[in-house]
A and B are shown apart, each in its own frame.
Chain A
């Protein structure tokens, strides 16, 4: 009856003293609770990882996973020598770079501006409003963009005509695709992105500001010497996360914005995997493409985390 005796001792000391077997029995309900979640991760996250092997096979549904013939790196060879490869790589890189250059700094800037606001009411109202688009789906955001930009009665084109310009077919043009994608991201997520920085800013010791004022620092200098350093580690962590997901910039959004006319600049790895894999049923080939992307993504996370640590920041793991 070791368990019932142990129940009267503080948990930590009993955990140390009991044998593994004893602890397993005593904590049986905890394991029971963990089980469904564990199964979930094994089935829906790890089973697909195992399924990646079809990238090295010629998967045929009626033969099944095991009996499909093994073909080694055939699909990778085909992909790398394909002319699509460079196009996909370029499109993905450029869209991701736009995202980091034009979108990433904005929530920081807005958070800093909000933090300087002393009028509580204005601050709260602005915050409430700028969070809203985050809760809209990409279909809604892209839908609104369509309504604004269409040549058939879209307000932007109506205005262009009214001011003596010509209609621009934004939605099926190669030149405007990246700009529109980035603008949509900015519209949808900038406000929401401020939350984490605002929380970091709330933790700054007000005495620091007082001391700086005594030393004659104006608002901009206070911002530069106190506020910015205070959120530096948050910025770095979010940048790492962003870099780690560098290659999967807004899949749903791009998928929705793509059409036959802008595919040349808009097709990215993920949308390609969908069209080749699901629409055309080339499971093995598209899995190889997806694997290539995931591995690059994993390398990006590991490298950027390593760099962050090297520069004295905390990193994400």
Chain B
């Protein structure tokens, strides 16, 4: 900065900062309110209105939701789907992306076109539903794992990432007697860990937040992932959380804070992972840009 910033320039900066900070606060405050409300007592929620920090700390809402089977079961379902689903996603995405990145493979272009076309046009909800049904996946967790095994978009970005790896790697491995499978598992994958980490997060968020597919494919409410249960409690407000009819009216904490607590429980795990992977986002998103 050789020039001293002018008055106009400094005014510009101050306004800019003020607006951005306001925007950032607007983004997080609703969620902070929900967290605070989940720990607040009914009295305080009603009297003080907008709470960002409860003066009277209460764990009743959490005790209540964890006293029922339903929430714990849904949480376990979601954890299972997230872990298994992400492993499946990453494995199949990488496995397909790598050959498509190799310039010496024939039919690379047509296969890519086949993939890209699915991003522009699809069979739609009903035909897809019928295929899943025909495969006997209704009411099975497979319906939440397999029909979304590969995202075309992620596949293409992953392929572009693989394409940037130097060709020499493969050639030298070949000379050392390694076949393509070996090159993929022993050289390419280990070198791609940053990309894999980013995509794991994206896929994991998708599974954690899975909602509509579960509505479509899972009728059995003991197999509901947490998001479906959340909708039941918060949006449809279908009377508490009870798998137990023995809803103890005296113990039951205020409905509002129970709803808030369920929201917190169904969001927190993803938000805890986020800071660790945040630094990869920008890179991950731009690995190969939008072009195929």
Using a CB–CB cutoff of 8 Å, the interface residues on chain A facing chain B are 7-8, 10-12, 14-15, 20, 23-24, 27, 29-34, 36-38, 40-41, 43-52, 54, 110, 113-114, 116-119, 122, 125-126, 128-133, 135-140, 142-144, 146-148, 153, 155, 158-159, 162, 187, 190-191, 195-196, 198-199, 213, 218-220, 237, 241, 244, 251-252, 255-256, 270, 273-274, 277-278, 283, 286-287, 290-291, 293-294, 297-298, 301, 314, 316-317
Contact = CB atoms under 8 A, between A and B. Distances in A.
A135 B260 CA distance: 17
A273 B260 CA distance: 32
Closest 5 pairs between A and B when the two form their complex, measured CB to CB:
A48-B123, A37-B96, A51-B127, A137-B209, A290-B124
Contact of A143 (B21, B180, B234): B234
A48 B128 CA distance: 5
Interface in B255-270: 256, 259-260, 263, 266-267, 270
B208 to A, nearest CB: 7
A140 to B, nearest CB: 5
Interface string B157-174: 000000000010011001
A293 B127 CA distance: 14
B127 A33 contact: no
A44 B259 contact: no
Given A142-B235, A147-B234, A187-B27, A290 B126 contact: yes
B267 A136 contact: yes
14 contacts: A27-B104, A30-B105, A34-B95, A37-B93, A37-B96, A37-B155, A46-B123, A49-B122, A54-B126, A131-B281, A137-B227, A140-B266, A155-B49, A256-B231
A122 B20 contact: yes
A57 B231 CA distance: 35
B146 A126 contact: no
B129 interface: yes
Nearest to B201: A135
Given A31-B99, A41-B150, A137-B266, A125 B234 contact: no
B246 interface: no
A144 B123 CA distance: 33
Interface residues of B, number: 100
Contacts of A195: 281-282, 285
A252 to B, nearest CB: 5
Interface of B: 3, 6, 8-9, 12-13, 16-17, 19-21, 23-24, 26-28, 30-31, 33-34, 37, 45-46, 49-50, 92-93, 95-96, 98-100, 102-106, 111, 114-116, 118, 120-131, 135, 146-147, 149-150, 152, 155, 167, 170-171, 174-175, 179-181, 184, 205, 208-209, 211-212, 216, 227-228, 230-231, 234-235, 256, 259-260, 263, 266-267, 270-271, 274-275, 278, 281-282, 285-286, 290-292
Q: Looking at chain A's contact residues, is the secondary structure mostly helix, strand, loop, or mixed?
A: helix
Given A33-B95, A44-B146, 9 more contacts: A30-B105, A51-B128, A129-B28, A130-B23, A144-B34, A147-B234, A159-B49, A274-B125, A291-B124
A12 B168 CA distance: 11
Given A12-B104, A27-B106, A213-B3, A290 B125 contact: yes
B122 to A, nearest CB: 6
Nearest to A314: B291
B271 to A, nearest CB: 6
A286 B50 CA distance: 45
A45 B118 contact: yes
A139 B127 CA distance: 25
A308 to B, nearest CB: 12
A158 to B, nearest CB: 5
Given A40-B149, A132-B28, A48 B49 contact: no
B27 A191 contact: yes
A196 B96 contact: no
